[in-house]
Amino acid sequence: MIDLLGYAAFFLTTALTYAILCLGLNLQWGMTGLFNVGVAGFAAVGAYVSALLTTPEIAGRLGGFDLPIALGWIAGAAAAGLCALLVGAITLRLRADYLAITTFGIAVAIDLFALNAQSITGGPFGIGFIPRPFIAWAGRPLLFNGAHLLLTGGVALILFWALERAGRSPWGRVLRAIREDETAALALGKSARAYRLQAFALGGAVMGLAGAIQAHYIGFISPLNYVSALTFLVWTMLIVGGSGNNAGAVVGAVGVWGLWSASGYLLNTLLASQYQARGSSLQIVIIGVVLAVILVLRPRGLLGERRIVSRHLEETGAP
């Protein structure tokens, strides 16, 4: 029973890190219409920066002092946000497919850098012995995973509240206006480029924070953690839950991660040992089928985007 509760805490903690990734993507795509296919790249920046700054052996080799984990998270989020700001300044003039291709290429470049810069990132061997919160409780899985669940859940709740407030603010309404009709927003004197850049940078920072949290929870990262399948999984979570809805992003993350975990367990149970290495490919097929079904039955996702009405319109009763 204790082992089952420990695994449930582990499952929910991992799901919440994906929920944070989905919240960042929802800010970019759901609210602003920015087709970012480089989610894995921004998560990798946050994870590697936090790991490099907080792991004593690596930080000392780089000529610095290892930072506390909390400062590593902040630094990882800031680095990913700065990376997104630089990328956005160059690429946000592009639209739709062109932006997707560019962000995908940037994510691949980040992954290749992590793979080849072995003196910094450990290359294909990755970075191990990353400091983990509550490491003193590592021998007690239920307590260790439960503490991480509370910590990650607290961070996810704060981000959810902040993004909900931002989405209902004038800033959030401008983002939706630009997404729906850029010409009308420009006619009202709003700088579409500036607002897009802000949303892209903030979304990238949220993704970097998720990468940093996951790196310190697992205690190990490598380039294999940030391949294109991660981006596909996060996009599926957002679409299934409901693009444009922060609650949908969280629900989609938990639901799709549950399906991913269950399908992996079943495939490992049903397949012979010589075929289990191919099970991850079948998992992607299963997730793809679920995505196709959701798009047919509920094109707006399980929850869908809610209509945002300004307080002034609510008070006046204007249509």
| This prediction's pTM | 0.93
Note the maximum CA span of the chain.
Answer: 67
Single-letter amino acid code for the residue at 8: A
| pLDDT given for residue 251 in this prediction | 96
- Contact at 8 Å (CB) between 110 and 41? yes
Give pLDDT tens digits for 243-256: 999 999 999 999 99
- Bin 35: left if φ > 0, else alpha if -120 < ψ < 50, else beta: beta
Tens digit of pLDDT at every position of the chain (319 positions): 667 888 899 999 999 999 999 999 999 999 999 999 999 999 999 999 999 999 887 766 666 667 899 999 999 999 999 999 999 998 887 766 788 889 999 999 999 999 999 988 999 999 999 999 998 888 888 899 999 999 999 999 999 999 999 999 999 999 999 888 888 888 878 888 899 999 999 999 999 999 999 999 999 999 999 999 999 999 999 999 999 999 999 999 999 999 999 988 888 887 777 777 777 778 888 888 988 998 898 988 998 887 665 554 444 544 4
d(CA 287, CA 295): 12
Separation CA 88–CA 114 (nearest Å)? 21
At 87 the pLDDT is 93
b (16+ CB within 10 A) / e for 85-105: bebbeebbeeeeeebbebbbe
> Which ranges in the chain belong to alpha helices (H)?
2-25, 39-54, 56-61, 69-91, 96-116, 118-121, 141-168, 170-180, 182-187, 192-218, 228-241, 246-270, 279-297, 311-316
The pLDDT value recorded for residue 132 is 94
Residue 222: phi and psi, rounded to 5, are -150, 165
**Using one digit for the tens of pLDDT, what is the confidence trace for 187-235?**
878 888 899 999 999 999 999 999 999 999 999 999 999 999 999 999 9
For residue 309, the model assigns a pLDDT of: 56
Q: Phi/psi of residue 154, each to 5°?
A: -65, -45
